[in-house]
Amino acid sequence: MRRLVVVSNRVEVAGKKQAGAGGLAVSIQSALEAHGGLWFGWSGEHAAKTSGRVKTHSVENVTYATLDLSTKDYDQYYLGYANRAIWPAFHYRLDRMKFHREDYEGYQRVNARFAEKLVPMLQDDDLIWIHDFHLIPLASELRRRSVKQPIGFFLHIPFPVPEILTALPGHQELVKELCAYDVVGFQTEIDLHAFHSYIEREVQGQVLSNGIVKANGHSFFAGAFPVGIYVENVSALTKDSKNSATAKKMAESLHERPMIIGVDRLDYSKGIMARFHAFEHLLEASPELQEKCLTLIQIAPLSRSKVKEYRELRESISTAAGRINGRFSEYNWVPIRYINHGFKRRTVLGFFRASQVGLVTPLRDGMNLVAKEYVAAQDPENPGVLVLSKFAGAAHELDGHSLTVNPYNTEEIADAMKQALAMPLDERKTRWSGMMKTLRRNDITAWREKFIGALQEAPYSAY
């Protein structure tokens, strides 16, 4: 078996959990554990001056290699072009996009540094798999340094339609850099279609019916590879949540009252504000749910707090939670439990199982593995209902079984919550089994094997 070399912005070293690493870390960890190999990226640390040394650490069949960033690199590459320009633009939030030339230069500079540090660690037979929007230029930088091994790229976030993408300064270079890969993977057919449109309209490239794209003098494969979850692992951890004192205390604290749960990094793409407004609307329109002391638990660990937009979001969401709680709370009931820190995975899965509704309403999301894990954590004999945004990648697989909503329409979300809370057991079971079939078919193994399979077929230059 060829060695797998994974590169991502953050590296989650086994046993040293970084806060907020999210679905990407879980997916990569599981791909690497199954295959063995090297995981290379940023350590999560930054300082005015760094040694530039790559630190390595091996756990079983995986070697973790990390480097620190200088504060300038962190500001320009991570906070700057990646999170203030690409992130909002790719999530259709041009109103939040901020562009500075020096940020773009920092982004290119850090990608060049990653390439320079990675090259001496590569072996001839490696398969190189690069992840996410921070590292789009990396293949070009590696090729510039004579790397010949197959290089694939997987985008965990949405890929916007050309009308949006062309508003991002640097879009021409980004797409050119994407065309340097052998395999380019997206979460959904919608993202793939948006990429194809750009290729055909903006660079006069060709999209063949077998998935091959010819553009910028290179042929490569572009496809949709929806990220899945490790269903058995989620089920086992959920069973184990019975031993979690926190999950038990949380369930006791509800006194068998109904509960709705949301779990998201505190990010403007997640639609938390609209969700709170929908919950307020629901309580207002349904006094019987006030009598039943319906509770919304929103877990929202802080994220990217150095970016102004994220600090402002924190302010406005806290204010909204306080206002709604002030309006409806009683001496023995607080309707929204709003929590700004994360919990252990098995504890969150225990919370999922204790809830009647999983509320996953991002305004735009690449996939959203919370939606999938919510479903896999349910009790087959008494499953909860998933209310899911039509703009989450997961909706392309779960629609028809989830209650799918427009996350901008707060009344529609409120109606869906009400419908979910009143849904008969038979219907809940039918919807749940439908979703579980999909989760098992498109699980994490299928994702990994499909992508690595495509990468093993490279090069595609003969097409």
CB atoms within 10 A of CB 101: 11
Nearer to ligand F6P, 350 or 362 (CB): 362
Q: State which of residues 238, 303, 368, 378 lies at the interface with ligand F6P (CB under 6 A).
A: 303
Two tokens at 256?
């068998």
Q: State in angstroms the smallest separation of the CB of 60 from ligand F6P.
A: 22
CB distance 150 to 173 below 8 Å: no
Nearer to ligand F6P, 22 or 106 (CB): 22
Footprint on residues 4-23 left by ligand F6P (CB under 6 A): 9-10, 20-23
Q: State which of residues 96, 196, 304, 353 lies at the interface with ligand F6P (CB under 6 A).
A: 304
CB distance 312 to 319 below 8 Å: no
Q: State in angstroms the smallest separation of the CB of 396 from ligand F6P.
A: 17
15, with CB counted inside 10 A (0-12, 13-18, 19+), is exposed
Q: State which of residues 84, 91, 96, 156 lies at the interface with ligand F6P (CB under 6 A).
A: 156
254, with CB counted inside 10 A (0-12, 13-18, 19+), is middle
Nearer to ligand F6P, 25 or 199 (CB): 25
132 binds ligand F6P (CB under 6 A): yes
Q: How far from the centroid of its chain's Cα atoms is residue 448's Cα? A: 16
Q: C-alpha dihedral over 334, 340, 341, 345, to 10 degrees?
A: 70
Q: What angle do CA 308, 314, 317 make, to 5 degrees?
A: 135
DSSP summary character for residue 330: B
* E strand or H helix at 129: strand 127-131
Q: State in angstroms the smallest separation of the CB of 267 from ligand F6P.
A: 8
Whole-angstrom distance, CA of residue 417 vs CA of residue 408: 15
Whole-angstrom distance, CA of residue 126 vs CA of residue 120: 12
Nearer to ligand F6P, 244 or 368 (CB): 368
Whole-angstrom distance, CA of residue 463 vs CA of residue 240: 50
Q: State in angstroms the smallest separation of the CB of 337 from ligand F6P.
A: 23
Amino acid in the structure at residue 301: P
Nearer to ligand F6P, 205 or 393 (CB): 393
Q: What x/- string results for residues 23 through 42 when contact with ligand F6P is judged by CB under 6 A?
A: xxx-----------------
Whole-angstrom distance, CA of residue 84 vs CA of residue 89: 9
Residues forming the active site: 156, 365
Q: State in angstroms the smallest separation of the CB of 111 from ligand F6P.
A: 15
Whole-angstrom distance, CA of residue 92 vs CA of residue 88: 6
Size of the site for ligand F6P (CB under 6 A): 13
Q: State in angstroms the smallest separation of the CB of 98 from ligand F6P.
A: 16
360 binds ligand F6P (CB under 6 A): no
149 binds ligand F6P (CB under 6 A): no
Q: C-alpha dihedral over 242, 245, 246, 248, to 10 degrees?
A: 50
157 binds ligand F6P (CB under 6 A): yes
Whole-angstrom distance, CA of residue 115 vs CA of residue 230: 31
Q: State in angstroms the smallest separation of the CB of 462 from ligand F6P.
A: 33
In the complex, the residues that contact ligand F6P under the rule CB under 6 A are: 9-10, 20-25, 132, 156-157, 303-304
